[in-house]
Structure 1
Amino acid sequence: MRLSLRARITVMFVATVLGVGLALIGLVYAYLKLTPVPVVASFPGTEDGVVIDGAVPVADEILGRVLTASLVALALLTALAGVVGWFVAGLVITPLRSIADDARAVTRGDLSARIDYLGPHDEVGELAETLNAMLDELADAVERQRRFAANASHELKTPIATIQTVADVALSGEDADLRPAVTQIREVNARNAATVSSLLQLANVQVRDRDAVDLAALCREAGAAHGVPVDAEPLTVVASPTLVRQAVDNLVRNAVVHGAPGTANLALRRTPGSAEITVSSGGDVLDPVEVATWTEPFTRARRTAGAGHGLGLALVKAVAKAHGGSLQLAARTEGGLVVRLLLPA
């Protein structure tokens, strides 16, 4: 098991104190062991007296006591160093925790969040400045992509609407030879119109109207609209009612359209920290690797030609991220798909 950064700093601090202490004890012990103690003895009683000047080694008993006392003191000092090191390490990594909290806010979809570091311009300050610059570039890139999708969708809506009107006018006539061709043109154009509309929705997924949402009632409405059984426990979240309703409706519609007939079902459960909306359906055995790509725009449309525009799951994922949640897809071993929409509760 790898230690946390705080634990590693504490271990390094304790190891330094222990190593320096052992080295100091060893030097003192060697000095006492190898250096005799000067001894001066004077014996009065004669005319001049007798003086003995010499040196004797330190007794082993004294050396043992000194060594024992030094090791006990070092053990206490090491334990104290561990406590002090733990608190000092906590102070050192406090700015890093603040950076991690801000980064999590960005991960939840808040691209306007920035790292608020007010400390000195040291290594941590340079890291915060670099990350803020990266977040600025990321926000600009996402905004450019959103504007491109929105502008492209707006530009495509006008000619598609024009073609649809022309086709309607042609179908209202009595020319039987043109009717099959015009009917096909109108159907293709209608699918293109739905795709453009979904692209525009995907480009403009933003949480503007947060409110208390009764997820159980919302799930029952979606189930009733598509004839899907619902098993929902009472649960309320703070979210955008419009976006969440659209996301759940997309999931249920996908299960009905792409799953085996009569196998779709919808469930709502509370999990630690989130509300879990599960939509499952039977069908063919799916490749888990391929399923993992279905939240990307148009990927599923290429697999199921004519059965959709391939933006439903991408839109649901965008809604989930905008609320700080997530979308999970899993292929069932017996065939079919399980989709879980997690929203913070």
Structure 2
Amino acid sequence: MKLSLRARITVMFVATVLGVGLALIGLVYAYLKLTPVPFLAKIPTPDDGLVIDGAVPITDEILRRVLLASVVALALLTAVAGLIGWFVAGLVIKPLREIAHDAATVTRGDLGARISHEGPADEVGELAAALNVMLDALAGALERQRRFASNASHELKTPIATIQTMADVALASGDGASLRETLGRVREVNARAAQTIAALLQLANVDIRDRQEMNLAALCRDITHGQDVPVAAEPVTVAASPTLVRQAVENLVRNAITHGEDASLTLTKVGQNAEIIVESGGPALDTAEIRTWIEPFARAQRTAGAGHGLGLALVDAIAKAHGGSLELTPRAGGGLAATLRLPA
């Protein structure tokens, strides 16, 4: 049977007291056994007197009594140590019980609850802080999952409803020409839905298989060639997948051209990272809102007809696969700045 944490702490406390006590008794017994007791005796005589100076060993009877008394005292001390250890162990694990209670509250569905710890910044405090960080991340992930499910269901439900409506209209009219036109429109809607599903599959299976040394400056100039996008690129080399990095940069540039104006691209090396900054003008944006644009389908819900909303999500996945990151920030004069960081 496994002992509880409180019982294990108590056992360790008792074992420590017992072990130290036995060692001390052994040392005292050995000292008394091996060390003779000195004595000095003076016997008066008609002359100057007789002085006897010597040492005698302690008798076995005295040693037995000392050993018995020591063992009895140690037994009583061990029992008291067990009671004290149980009480002290309860005080030690009390913060852990409070943490467990708060965690159970979260488990019951209250995702807003957090670990309340008012003690010092010790190991228990570090544990509480780490759990709160984990709960924040978990709540954020669940919220993103909820938004993804909502956005994905809306995005995938729309073509199905559109096809259903067009089919009903075509069947009601009974006209051959109308039926042919409807089939053409159904094919277009179905193609867009297939593109969305293909993008979702690509997002779920971002895999670096062709990592190699590549010149980011040449890549950026090649992507923006023939487009009205100014480029300021320093020579930076990274070990990455040319296919995925090209797709990420193309998505950022296309996003800037589609949703903004006066797009520009800047490539610099900052510390150990290569930074590709794609900026575009436009209306003032809210920081909290643009943070959600990295989530699949999030932006598609706000910009109808401007894509399936997976471009920035795919760029973020590619950046993370390379050990980098994607950061979206609003520009002071309006518009958006997207920063793709890759280890250089």
Structure 2-normalised TM-score? 0.49
Q: Which has the larger radius of gyration?
A: 2
